[in-house]
Amino acid sequence: MRAPVGWLVSLLSAGLAAPALASDDLPGRRLAERLEAHMLERQSKLRWESLGHYALIAEVEQADLLRWIEPVSFRRGEAGFVLGVGDTVELHGGALLDFLFQHWRPDGRRPAAPRDRFPFRRNGESLALGAIYASHRSQIFLPVPGLAPAAIGGQLPGSPQLARMRFLVPGGAGGVAREVERDAYSFLRLLVAREGDFAATWTNRLGQQLSVDLLMGQALGHYLAERSAAVERSDHSHLHLVELFLAYHRRASARPGVATRLDPDEIQRRFLTLELARPDSEADDESLAHYVESLGMLLAEPTVTWNAAERERTRGWLQRVEARRFRDLAAVDADYLAHLLRGLRLVRTHRDRLEDPRGEGSSGVP
C-alpha cells in the first residue's frame, strides 16, 4: 500500500536489473522478463516515490534514506511516540521504525541498534530507536470482538485475532489526543526479529499481557481458520502472514530447546488450498502480487516439503497468472509490482523445489 503524501516507500534503482533468465519453461519466466524491463525503465521515479518497496528488490543508498525520512517527525504523548508526516500516522504499525532498523547505517557500515539516535530534522532532535520500539510495544494490542479498545481492560480475545496498533496521537483539535488504529504487520515483523525471548511478557497500555509467542499464536489460529477474502482485504497483515510465520519459525528453530506450534508444511498447505485456489474475481493485483511473493518465500524455506501434486498445482497456478494477469504492467501500481518481482526472483532462484521429486533445493532468502 502506498503511504499518504508519498513518504512511505518502495522499489529499485542501481541494482535493479537481475541476471538474465534462462530460456526454458519455468512458469512465470516471461512475466518476470517483462517486469524486469518495465521496472528498469521506471527506476528513478520509483526510487524517489516509494523507497520502502524499492528496498524489496534493490539496495537502499544512505542518501536516499535520509532524503526519504526528512519530512518525518515524531510526537511524544502519554501513550508513547507516534511517527508520521504532518497529520498522518505511519502505516503498518511501525513501517518507519522497521525501515530504519533494516536499512539505516549510522556509521556507514553497521546496521542500526536500539541505542542509536536518529536525527529527526523536523523535530530538531535525535531519538533512540529503542525508545520508539519500547513505546510501540505498549501500543500493539489484540482486539476483543464486541469490545471497543478502551473497554478491553486487560482482557484477551476468546478467539484467535490479528494484532493491531492503536496510537494515541497528541495535539488534536482543542488539544485533545485522537486515537488512530493501524494494522500491525511491520511491528510484528520487528518483534519477531528483535525480541530475545519469545515467551517473555509485557503489558500494553490496555492492560493486556502479551508476548511474541502469544501474538504469533493468535495470528496462526486466525490464519488457519479464516476463509474470507473480503475480511483479509480489511487488514494488510493478511498479505504478509506467510512471511511472518516463516521468520518466526526460523528464529525459534535456531534456538536449542525452543519449540513453537507452527508447522511450515501446514502453512504451505493452507496457502495452496486458499490463496492459490481463489478465482480471478477474488484476487486483485495487490493480493496476487503478494501471493507470488509468499510463494517465493515458501520455496526458499528449506524446511517446507513439496510433493508431486503440490509442485504441479503451483506450476499450473504460476502459468495461469502469467497468461491471464499483469498483461499491462503500466496499469498496475508500482508498489504491487515490487512484491511481484521479488516473488518471481525467488521462484527463479529456488526453481529446483518445483522440479525435484524430493522437494529439496536451495535454502535461504536472498
pLDDT tens across 187-233, in order? Answer: 999 999 999 999 999 999 999 999 999 999 999 999 998 777 777 77
Domain stops at, among 221, 237, 253:
237
Same structural domain, 41 and 141: no
Q: Is residue 365, in this structure, part of any structural domain at all?
A: no
Same structural domain, 37 and 153: no
pLDDT of the residue at 14: 31
pLDDT of the residue at 258: 60
Average of per-residue pLDDT across 350-366: 62
Same structural domain, 225 and 329: no
Q: Is residue 22, in this structure, part of any structural domain at all?
A: no
- Kindly indicate the confidence band of residue 116, based on its pLDDT and cuts at 50, 70 and 90: very high
Same structural domain, 114 and 233: yes
Same structural domain, 229 and 280: no
Query: What distances in angstroms separate CA 212 from CA 28, 71, 217, one per listed residue?
Result: 36, 32, 8
Q: Is residue 8, in this structure, part of any structural domain at all?
A: no
Q: Is residue 191, in this structure, part of any structural domain at all?
A: yes
Q: Is residue 176, in this structure, part of any structural domain at all?
A: yes
Q: Is residue 249, in this structure, part of any structural domain at all?
A: no
Q: The domain containing residue 230 runs over which residues?
A: 59-237
Average of per-residue pLDDT across 330-349: 96
pLDDT > 90? residue 332: yes
* Mean of the per-residue pLDDT values of the chain: 87
Tally of domains in the chain: 2
pLDDT tens across 281-326, in order? Answer: 778 999 999 999 999 999 999 999 999 999 999 999 999 999 999 9
Domain stops at, among 183, 202, 237:
237
Q: Is residue 4, in this structure, part of any structural domain at all?
A: no
Please name the amino acid found at residue 226. Answer: E
pLDDT > 60? residue 171: yes
pLDDT > 80? residue 110: yes
Same structural domain, 188 and 104: yes
Same structural domain, 275 and 353: yes
Same structural domain, 185 and 329: no
Same structural domain, 34 and 156: no
**How far is residue 166's CA from residue 168's CA, in Å, rounded to a whole number?**
7
Same structural domain, 99 and 209: yes
pLDDT > 70? residue 16: no
pLDDT > 90? residue 88: no
Same structural domain, 331 and 210: no
pLDDT > 60? residue 361: no
pLDDT > 50? residue 366: no
Q: Is residue 322, in this structure, part of any structural domain at all?
A: yes
pLDDT tens across 230-254, in order? Answer: 777 789 999 999 999 999 999 988 8
Domain stops at, among 237, 252, 277:
237
pLDDT > 70? residue 358: no
pLDDT > 50? residue 10: no
Same structural domain, 65 and 42: no
